[in-house]
Amino acid sequence: MASDTRLAGALRLTGLMALGLTVPLLLPAPASASSQLALDKGCYKCHGNPPKKNAPTFAELTSRYARLRSNADAESALVEKLRQGTFFGHIDAHERLSQEDAQRLIRWIIEGGR
């Protein structure tokens, strides 16, 4: 009887551990992943502090686009505008972004870059 109780307890613990390993995979990626993406894509070369030429810093971008939170249409339009390279003229780095990367970066900016 005691061994059955221990077995049941061990199975519950194993199930909880498996759940603990699975749940983080189902949650959205933290914003730091987008900060890392910005670093990987070289965004900080122009949008860092100090910024390059006339490029806005990420702090300026987050302030400018915070008004677009919860506006999926505006977010999508901003993603397309970014990928077309039309911000401040023709920008190759923007045009090379995949749809997914551009969307992650824009969402990160709109959400405050946190």
Q: Is the pLDDT of residue 104 over 90?
A: yes
Residue type present at position 55: A
Please compute the mean of the pLDDT values over residues 81-106 and round it to a whole number. Answer: 86
Question: For the domain bounded by 29-110, which CATH number is listed?
Answer: 1.10.760.10
Mean pLDDT, all residues of the chain:
80
Query: What pLDDT digit, counting tens, does each position of 31-70 carry?
Result: 566 899 999 999 999 999 999 988 999 999 999 999 999 9
Listed by start position, the domains of the chain span 29-110
Q: Is 52 helix (H, G, I), strand (E, B) or coil?
A: coil
3-state secondary structure of 109: helix
